[in-house]
Amino acid sequence: MNSNFWLTNAGLETGFQFDNGIVTGTKTEFFHLLIKNGKIEQIISADEILTDDLPKKDAKHLLVLPSFVEKHCHLDKTLLGDRWRAVTPVKNIFGRFETEKTVLPTLETSTQERAEKLLDIYLKSGVTHVRTHVDLYPEVGLKNLEEVQKALQTFEGKLSYEIVAFPQHGLLLSNAKELVREAVRQGANFVGGVDPATVDGDIEASLQEMVELAVDGNVGIDLHLHDADHLGIFTMKRLAKLTKEAGLQGKVAISHAFGLGDISEVQAEAMAEILEDAGITIITSVPLGRKFPPVGLLHRKGVSVAVGCDNIFDVWSPFGNGDVLERGGGV
């Protein structure tokens, strides 16, 4: 295959430098990497001379890292590529739903074009895997899903992806059950959701329906949970319980999970044990304006934690640059 090549003179980390038992630096050495059929087949010291006829691409002593994962974004929401607009003040999340519903159809660019713009930025910032939520509500139907899928198809071979069928206006509130079911049939890999308490008004019914959809479609779950302190914690506990009952361990994520940032360390540790036991991943966007889950504590307790940029210049937020490395720096 012509995609086989040697990546030459690539810097790789080989160990720590210690000074009196304390890590004071990182050792790196240079290597040639044989890339074959999409895999690293061989790693040899850059001192060795390559004698085969495979093409060589020179990494020029730059550091090589595993590429990055963007675990929470909204490819269908971004305004990138369209004209500048700041956020219009609204009273609550429901006001934001209305704004989004009315603004997006009036844009001059298509959802696909804007999604491609954002994917381009992700690629440039080192991301090769994207998990995107796609809004599903009665007015938009499956259109966002279709447009985002088209955008992702144009990036086929450049990055991999997962799609969350996201009933942004409430699974129960906007009566989106059948839309979510259909989206999963059409290729979405996760059932999404948002604030079973404050958006749907019924934690138990909302979570039950979400889990049922996931089980029916044989897919995972990724729930937006902004609900604060003990309201959020209670919701997490119920979801953990339902996850285990449904045998969905390892397939469920909670995005934002702000409640974890609002409680004491002792309480957070107890909650972390429950999350770990249910195999639930926590995804944070490392927000600047709000307390967020204690990433270090969760990690220590064995909870899987991932990072995503979330909103990138959309009607929810004018900020965000698609640089997951910068988000990591924020942590």
Partner 1 sequence: MLDNAFWLTNARLETGYHYENGIVTGTKTEPFHLRIEKGKIIELVKADRPIETNLPKREAHNYLLLPSFRDMHIHIDKTYYGGPWKAPSIPTKGLLTRLEEEEDLLPRLLPGAEERAKKLLDLVLSSGSTHIRTHCNVDPFIGLKNLEAVLSAVETYKDKVSVEIVAFPQHGLLRSKSVTYVREALRMGASLVGGVDPATVDDNIEKSLHMVMELAVEANANVDLHIHDPGHLGIFTFKRLAALTEEAGWQGRVTISHALAFADISTKEASEVAEILSHQGISITSSVPIGRTIPIPLLQSKGVSISLGDDSITDHWSPFGKGDSLEKAGTLAERFGLSDERSLGQTLGYITGGVTPLNKEGKSIWPNVGDNANLVLVDASCSAEAVARRAERKAVIFNGKVVYGALT
3-class SS of residue 288: coil
Q: Distance between CA atoms of 272 and 280, rounded to whole angstroms?
A: 9
Q: Distance between CA atoms of 291 and 80, rounded to whole angstroms?
A: 27
The CB-of-14 to partner 1 minimum distance in angstroms stands at 16
Residue with Cβ nearer partner 1 (166 or 316): 316
Whole-angstrom CA distances from 131 to 96, 249, 324, 329 are 23, 19, 13, 20
Binding flag, residue 330, partner 1 (CB under 8 A): yes
Using CB under 8 A, count the residues that bind partner 1.
Answer: 19
Binding flag, residue 88, partner 1 (CB under 8 A): yes
Nearest one of 160, 158, 162, 106 to 134, comparing CA atoms: 162
Binding flag, residue 84, partner 1 (CB under 8 A): yes
Binding flag, residue 95, partner 1 (CB under 8 A): no
CB 293 within 8 A of CB 95: no
From 56, 85, 230, 300, residue interacting with partner 1 (rule: CB under 8 A):
85
The CB-of-83 to partner 1 minimum distance in angstroms stands at 7
Residue with Cβ nearer partner 1 (21 or 247): 21
From 102, 245, 321, 325, residue interacting with partner 1 (rule: CB under 8 A):
321
Tokens of 189: 């890999």
Q: Which stretch binds partner 1 (CB under 8 A): 107-115, 133-141, 274-282, 315-323?
A: 315-323
Q: Which residues from 229-258 bind partner 1, rule CB under 8 A?
A: none
CA angle 133, 135, 138 (to 5 degrees): 160
Q: Which stretch binds partner 1 (CB under 8 A): 124-132, 136-144, 275-283, 314-322?
A: 314-322
Residue with Cβ nearer partner 1 (163 or 315): 315
H-state helical runs in 5-61 = none
CB 260 within 8 A of CB 298: yes
How many residues in total does the chain contain?
A: 331
Residue with Cβ nearer partner 1 (57 or 85): 85
Binding flag, residue 319, partner 1 (CB under 8 A): yes
Tokens of 145: 């899903």
From 2, 55, 60, 86, residue interacting with partner 1 (rule: CB under 8 A):
86
Q: Which stretch binds partner 1 (CB under 8 A): 77-85, 161-169, 247-255, 277-285?
A: 77-85
Q: Distance between CA atoms of 168 and 284, rounded to whole angstroms?
A: 18
Q: Which stretch binds partner 1 (CB under 8 A): 43-51, 52-60, 197-205, 317-325?
A: 317-325
Q: What is the DSSP string of 158-200?
A: T-EEEEEEE-TT-TTTTT-HHHHHHHHHTT--EEEEE-TTTTT
Q: Distance between CA atoms of 309 and 27, rounded to whole angstroms?
A: 30
Binding flag, residue 22, partner 1 (CB under 8 A): yes
From 214, 309, 313, 324, residue interacting with partner 1 (rule: CB under 8 A):
313
Whole-angstrom CA distances from 96 to 16, 49, 67, 151, 315 are 48, 60, 34, 25, 8
Residue with Cβ nearer partner 1 (47 or 84): 84
The CB-of-289 to partner 1 minimum distance in angstroms stands at 5
Residue with Cβ nearer partner 1 (69 or 90): 90
- The residues of the shown chain that bind partner 1, judged by CB under 8 A, are 22, 24-25, 83-89, 288-289, 313, 317-319, 321, 329-330
